[in-house]
Structure 1
């Protein structure tokens, strides 16, 4: 079970339409496929989505740090030496998506070696999750049409609405249009991607008080320290920390500061090992969690549902697992399918996915 090679393969797949939000826009999935090879011939896989406007990583930086810094330190270790793997990667600061992908590919390789699903290794709570779909910036009619299409086609009844525009009225109007079109039985919550000031966020939440929003995620920048605390104290809508909590220490800081009441866990940011540490941390403090999305492709989404379904706390709420639907293609031999508003964990060892070599050859950017 020794690691003998680690690859970082850049690839690019266009989206059918861009996803627009307060901190950026994504029109191409310029991600990195990470593969961990063992001396038994097993290959574990995971996906690293660079988000330079959030964590500073680019496709080029992920490839470089995995192949030039991490691989030389990790080759020769076994798949069971995960603490050593993390300690050696921790010598390099930052680079959360790169570290997460190496961690998840290692778990995938371990599951394949043991002929067990990663979900079972992590906890085995259930085999599926309810799905939440993210709706990005667009004219109200287009946002409504997208939500109705996703609801009618895939049975999804939970939507996260991207907000954070100025003037605030654009977002209030969009949320109101979605509530009126979708009715009271559909869950709506908002994600500001740090786009509002605390006062703007307070005004917007007051204006949407009748819309029955269930969550409000990252409405203000993380460095609005007192403003975030003030906003959380004045609203009855649970406030979710996301980009502000990339590490367990950040989770502690935000919760103890009163700047958030819930935590978003993203396997694309913290892998399986650190995500589990954050989950246990939240459970110990009595803090709810939600499974977030870093605009993952199907590889990353398979990782997210494998983790989310493994634990009771992460499987309670709908996970953000559907934005791969907007991609024009993907790398899997057997695409993921959302039916009845749910996404099932893929059967089989590891994460349960296989990479189509022809698709990888078509979309990879290093050849």
Structure 2
């Protein structure tokens, strides 16, 4: 079960409904499909979503890093040598999305070799997970209409509201409109993507609390260390680390320094192995975790779903699994489904999804 090749295929698919937020906007899924092929002919797959405004990676940098740096050192290893593979990639700093894609593809290939689902290998806690959807910058009327549509069509009743605009009043008005006009059981939480200062976030707390917001993600930059600590001390709403906690070491720093109360886990940012380590740290410290979204395609969503369903802590609350609904198309052959606000883990081996080769040929950009 040696790894014989690692392939990177850049592609681009438009978003029918772009997502806009404090650190950037996503108009096109200009991602990279990563394929790991073993000596037995098994192919593991993963999606790498570049987010240059957050992590500095681009489609071109992901292709180059995997092709020129990681693949030469990993090809020839056994597909079960996940710790060795992770050790090799750790020698290169940053590049978390490139690392995550290789890790997920290797896990996918290993699970397929065994004929089981990745979710079972990781823990197998559940076969389905409640779904949360991200609402980008919009007016109160637009936000309410989108949330109502998703609830009617898919049963989704949990929403992450992107905030972080200036002045803060427009975001607070959006959150309050959602609370007032949506059913009482609607779950709301917010994510500023580092768009506010610590003082602005502190000023927003009373109204966010009044709107019943359950968590406040990345309100300000982690570089505002003292301000973040002061915010976390004053907030009765749990402060969630996201961009500031991509690795176990980062998560330990933020949690132990008092910069946040809980963490967002993203499989696209470091893979299943990194996510497992962050989750273990959170479990040991007794803090909550949330399953985040890199504005993923259905392939990326399938990986998030596999991990979320694997563990009691991650399956306990809504995971961000639905923003692929805003894409004009996708690469996988059998679409994922959201039924009554929940998504079931696909039954196939690995992450459980298969690439539609005709669509891949249509959308690839390296011809």
**Aligned match of 2:20:** 20
**What SS does the corresponding residue of 2:11 show, helix, strand or coil?**
strand
Q: May I ask how many residue pairs the two structures share in their alignment?
A: 367
**What SS does the corresponding residue of 2:31 show, helix, strand or coil?**
strand
For 1:322 and 1:194, locate their aligned partners in 2 and report how far apart those are by CA, in whole Å: 23
For 2:259 and 2:39, locate their aligned partners in 1 and report how far apart those are by CA, in whole Å: 47
For 2:352 and 2:308, locate their aligned partners in 1 and report how far apart those are by CA, in whole Å: 15
For 1:176 and 1:288, locate their aligned partners in 2 and report how far apart those are by CA, in whole Å: 25
For 1:360 and 1:344, locate their aligned partners in 2 and report how far apart those are by CA, in whole Å: 25
Asked if 1:149 is matched to 2:149, the reply is yes
For 1:31 and 1:208, locate their aligned partners in 2 and report how far apart those are by CA, in whole Å: 34
**Aligned match of 2:44:** 44
**Aligned match of 1:289:** 289
1:124-143 counterparts in 2 under 5 A? Answer: 124-143=124-143
RMSD of aligned residue pairs (Cα, Å): 0.7
**What SS does the corresponding residue of 1:267 show, helix, strand or coil?**
coil
Q: 1:348, CA displacement in angstroms? A: 1.3
**Aligned match of 2:73:** 73
Q: Give the ranges of 4+ consecutive aligned residues of structure 1 lying more than 6 Å apart after TM superposition.
A: none
**When the two structures are superposed, what TM-score results if normalisation uses the length of structure 2?**
0.99
**What SS does the corresponding residue of 2:201 show, helix, strand or coil?**
helix
Q: 1:40, CA displacement in angstroms? A: 0.3
**What SS does the corresponding residue of 2:52 show, helix, strand or coil?**
coil
Q: 1:183, CA displacement in angstroms? A: 2.9
Cα deviation code 1:183-205 (max 9, x no counterpart)? 32101000000000011111111
Q: 1:270, CA displacement in angstroms? A: 1.9
For 1:207 and 1:306, locate their aligned partners in 2 and report how far apart those are by CA, in whole Å: 35
**Aligned match of 1:233:** 233
Asked if 1:242 is matched to 2:242, the reply is yes
**Aligned match of 1:266:** 266
**What SS does the corresponding residue of 1:80 show, helix, strand or coil?**
coil
**What SS does the corresponding residue of 1:33 show, helix, strand or coil?**
strand
**What SS does the corresponding residue of 2:317 show, helix, strand or coil?**
coil
Q: 1:207, CA displacement in angstroms? A: 2.4
**What SS does the corresponding residue of 1:28 show, helix, strand or coil?**
strand
**What SS does the corresponding residue of 2:360 show, helix, strand or coil?**
helix
Cα deviation code 1:95-147 (max 9, x no counterpart)? 00000000000000001100010000000000110000000001221111111
1:71-220 counterparts in 2 under 5 A? Answer: 71-220=71-220
For 1:321 and 1:209, locate their aligned partners in 2 and report how far apart those are by CA, in whole Å: 25
**What SS does the corresponding residue of 2:166 show, helix, strand or coil?**
coil
**What SS does the corresponding residue of 1:108 show, helix, strand or coil?**
helix
For 1:256 and 1:36, locate their aligned partners in 2 and report how far apart those are by CA, in whole Å: 37
In the alignment, is the contact (CA less than 8 A) between 2:209 and 2:237 conserved in 1?
A: no
**When the two structures are superposed, what TM-score results if normalisation uses the length of structure 1?**
0.99
In the alignment, is the contact (CA less than 8 A) between 2:293 and 2:321 conserved in 1?
A: yes
For 2:118 and 2:130, locate their aligned partners in 1 and report how far apart those are by CA, in whole Å: 19
**What SS does the corresponding residue of 1:62 show, helix, strand or coil?**
helix
**What SS does the corresponding residue of 2:101 show, helix, strand or coil?**
helix
In the alignment, is the contact (CA less than 8 A) between 2:18 and 2:27 conserved in 1?
A: yes
Cα deviation code 1:276-323 (max 9, x no counterpart)? 011011101101101000101000000000000000111111000000
Cα deviation code 1:198-257 (max 9, x no counterpart)? 111111111233111100000101101000000010010011000000111100100011
**What SS does the corresponding residue of 1:268 show, helix, strand or coil?**
coil
Unmatched 5+ stretches in structure 2: none
Of 202-211 and 245-254, deviating more is 202-211
In the alignment, is the contact (CA less than 8 A) between 2:36 and 2:109 conserved in 1?
A: yes
**Aligned match of 1:256:** 256
**Aligned match of 1:53:** 53
Unmatched 5+ stretches in structure 1: none
